[in-house]
Amino acid sequence: MKYPIGIQSFDRIINDGFVYVDKTDLVYSLVKEGSIYFLSRPRRFGKSLLVSTLKNYFLGRKELFKGLKIDALEKDWKVYPVFHIDFNGSNFMKRGILENRINSYISDWEKEYSLDSSDIEADLGNRFLKVLKTAYERSGLRAVVLIDEYDKPILDVLDYDKNLEEEHRNILKGFYSTFKGADEYLQFVFLTGVTKFSQVSVFSGFNQPKDISMHAKYETLCGISQYELESYFREPIEEMTETYRCSYDEMMNMLKSQYDGYHFSDRMTDVYNPFSLLNAFDAGRIYDYWFKSGTPTYLIRLLSHSDENMNEITGKYYSPEEFIDYKANIEQPLPMIYQS
């Protein structure tokens, strides 16, 4: 069994024979039942793979989905103009990086559609609007916009440079406001992020996306459920029983104790971190894989200012209102810990 550790490309996973937990029935529901979505999940939880899956679906790459659940559901397989923005690969702690990154995307799209890209000082939002309009007019189909890690430009400078944080917030707000004026040219918009704290201020320039972060129907859209763990991964679990000299049930309990604990709706369905599980199966060893690779530095910076005792935070009940539509600050670290 080949494990796609660190691989976030849906087409590579399928073409190269890596194990894939089929979520395409949920993808089908997403694209057929709504048009603008926001999804918050912790790091290393499969958000980028989900975005890649959506991208390949909207590009009409039917051959990649052969044998998956969506293969029996989708009949049309239209080829939409897709605009994918990924903020994962840059460090935004220097002024100008964010604008350059967005400008680079827009310039490439302007060249693709033979639009004038000489005026790089022009408003980024208006240039993107022109690209979307042109794509719609030439293809006859409305555009698809996929934005991965929308909040990274803010998280990188959170509690590090207040002025740059506000600058990034304003840049993103102006850029995302494009969607409001481009409504007639848009088929589908999907944004992912680690946190929800900046959602209200960053997205205030356009119609609020439907937040499915805690929606019961999509609670297992990212991650691996208990059912999926038992259905897809019995073989590697049995191999680990030999290493740990324990029964299958004991091994399942060890995996649950180490990697379970996530719940994304009132149903309290158990969801495992996929990065941790796949690493454990690949190495045949239980270890702190997520923490070693994904420690959120912005959270550490916030907690360094806090007098909160972590032992006093855990084991208590907190009302949902404490975690909804907030702005992170050093006086209230709990919501940020939760979102992280």
CA distance 332 to 325: 13
Q: What is the pLDDT of residue 201?
A: 63
> What is the token pair recorded at 308?
């909160």
Sole residue written with tokens 């209200």: 200
- Per DSSP, what are the bridge partners of residue 339? none
Quote the pTM value.
0.91
Amino acid at 259: Y
Tokens standing for 155?
């998280």
Residue range(s) in the chain whose domain bears CATH number 3.40.50: 10-218
- Give CA separation, 189 vs 38, 142, 223, 242, 254, in Å: 9, 11, 21, 46, 39
Question: CB burial class (10 A; 0-12, 13-18, 19+) of residue 119?
Answer: exposed
Q: How far is CA 29 from CA 32, 40, 77, 215, 237, in A?
A: 5, 18, 15, 13, 31
Look up residue 113 and give its amino acid.
Y
pLDDT by residue, tens only, the chain of 340 residues:
899 998 999 999 999 999 999 999 999 999 999 899 999 998 889 999 999 999 999 999 999 999 999 999 999 999 999 999 999 888 899 999 999 999 999 999 999 999 987 766 678 889 999 999 999 999 999 999 999 998 899 888 877 888 998 899 889 888 888 888 898 999 999 999 887 755 556 666 566 788 899 999 999 999 999 999 999 999 999 999 999 999 999 999 999 999 988 899 989 999 999 999 999 999 999 999 887 776 667 777 777 776 767 777 777 777 777 765 555 555 566 777 776 6
CATH 1.10.3430, applies to 10-218? no
Question: Which of the 8 DSSP states describes residue 212?
Answer: -
For residue 197, the model assigns a pLDDT of 57
pLDDT at residue 160, as a whole number: 82
Element (H, E) at 227: helix 226-232
Q: pLDDT value at position 340?
A: 67
